[in-house]
Structure 1
Amino acid sequence: MKRSKWKGPFVQKLDFNKKLPLLSRNYEITSKTVGLTCSVHSGKIFAKLSITDEMIGHKVGEFVPTRERFVFKKKKKKK
């Protein structure tokens, strides 16, 4: 769901002096944060995320998966 236009994008104040700043999943990526490497909580672990130009306008949570990829188990061959 988009945030209303009159409120503007959700942007929190960042401390760029920290090694890896923490971003919430609903943080909207702006041009100020391009090139920043931050950590985002995926629900289980903190994942590192490098922000690029193509990510501007999207939310941080779109780039950090919350579920593991499902892989079918290989069947054993019958003798």
Structure 2
Amino acid sequence: MARSLKKGPFADRHLLDKVRAMNRQGEKKIIRTWSRRSTIFPDMVGHTIAVYDGRKHVPVYVTENMVGHKLGEFAPTRSYRGMRGGRAGERVTRVGGR
């Protein structure tokens, strides 16, 4: 379900303060955050934000196409390792001809 338009987008205050301070100083350092719920604002374009995925911080370079999305969308929390075991369609042959 989409967020109500009368509420507007949400971003954690501490994250916006860091981005705006870096914009004023003209810096482009990596910002580490645990705020996956924050919406990407136009002020964040061009910055690299390291978003926590539960195990490590995943660097996310923010582009114009990402504005309006959440930071957590670009740092997946689950890693798919494929099917475990033998290859599909492979038959096991026994020694001895049975």
TM-score by length of 2: 0.65
**Structure-2 change in CA distance of 1:50 and 1:18 (3 Å):** closer
The aligned counterpart of 2:51 is 40
Does 2:3 correspond to 1:3? yes
* Structure 1: tracts of 5 or more residues without a match: none
Q: Point out which structure has higher relative CO (alpha carbons under 8 A, 6+ apart).
A: 1
Match of 2:31 among 7, 18, 21: 21
Question: How well do the aligned residues superpose, as a CA RMSD in angstroms?
Answer: 2.3
Structure 1 ranges of 4+ moved more than 3 A: 76-79
Question: Between Structure 1 and Structure 2, which shows a larger proportion of helix residues?
Answer: 2
The percent identity for this pair of structures is: 35
The aligned counterpart of 1:65 is 76
**Structure-2 change in CA distance of 1:71 and 1:39 (3 Å):** same
Structure index of larger Rg: 2
Match of 1:56 among 67, 70, 77: 67
TM-score by length of 1: 0.78
String of CA shifts for 1:11-53, please: whole Å, max 9, x gaps: 2323126832233111111111111101111011111111111
Q: Which of 40-49 and 17-26 deviates more?
A: 17-26
The aligned counterpart of 2:96 is none
